[in-house]
Chains A and B, each alone.
Chain A
Amino acid sequence: GQQLNQSPQSMFIQEGEDVSMNCTSSSIFNTWLWYKQDPGEGPVLLIALYKAGELTSNGRLTAQFGTTRKDSFLNISASIPSDVGIYFCAGQLRGGATNKLIFGTGTLLAVQP
């Protein structure tokens, strides 16, 4: 089945460092979403992007909807230990109630205090 190419697969960083991850697809999407999954829990939405070129921030998180509509980027500034988790991108074609998300394979982030 179709999946998004998400990179990097994992990152091991020091507290205070900035983090960048991205997703690319061969398909064009109308919506890009970024989720975070803490251990033992379900994914939680961080940022939603609805327009090509859109740049949206949520605290220390900033995400961008690529101008080609085939990619998206997530940046985390000044990382802290609670940023640890798996980050997923997801692309979505707008199409009513039956539209479905295509998920990336995830980026595992580890932050050393």
Chain B
Amino acid sequence: NAGVTQTPKFQVLKTGQSMTLQCAQDMNHNSMYWYRQDPGMGLRLIYYSASEGTTDKGEVPNGYNVSRLNKREFSLRLESAAPSQTSVYFCASRDNNSPLHFGNGTRLTVT
């Protein structure tokens, strides 16, 4: 039982490049989330998906898009990466009224 799996673990992009961060969970959770973590800022919600087929903006959605491909998978896309998007990205999942389970993160650097 792997829990929440994120790929890649590390990525370096040049400004303007695009990429997709992948996330999959094997706990049959309905809700999935993407957070970014920056020094001194804690975790901030980018987008979330309350159930398969739905997505909603979080606190800091600008510059990102998401796709809830199926119940297991929730991807985060950067269409044109900017240095301000250098961060550690965490995917998480949960069921109603249960705590979040996090992946191990993707460390992204945009030069």
Contact = CB atoms under 8 A, between A and B. Distances in A.
B4 A42 contact: yes
Contacts of A43: 43, 90, 100, 102
A29 interface: no
A79 to B, nearest CB: 22
A45 B99 contact: yes
B42 A1 contact: no
Nearest to B6: A42
Contacts of B7: none
A17 B100 CA distance: 30
Given A1-B44, A103-B43, A42 B56 contact: no
B56 A98 contact: yes
Contacts of B99: 33, 45, 48
B42 A96 contact: no
B103 to A, nearest CB: 5
A2 B60 CA distance: 11
Interface residues of B, number: 28
Contacts, number: 62
Contacts of B31: 97-98
B20 interface: no
How many residues of A sit at the interface, in one of the four size bands? Answer: 20 to 34
B67 interface: no
Contact of B41 (A44, A101, A105): A105
Contacts of B56: 98
B102 A105 contact: no
Interface string A79-113: 00000000010100010111011011110000000
A53 to B, nearest CB: 20
List of 9 A-B pairs having minimum Cβ-Cβ separation, nearest first: A42-B102, A1-B59, A97-B50, A103-B42, A103-B43, A105-B42, A98-B50, A45-B99, A42-B104
Interface of B: 4, 30-31, 33, 40-45, 48, 50-51, 56, 58-60, 90, 92, 96-97, 99-105
Interface of A: 1-4, 6, 9, 33, 35, 40-45, 48, 88, 90, 94, 96-98, 100-101, 103-106
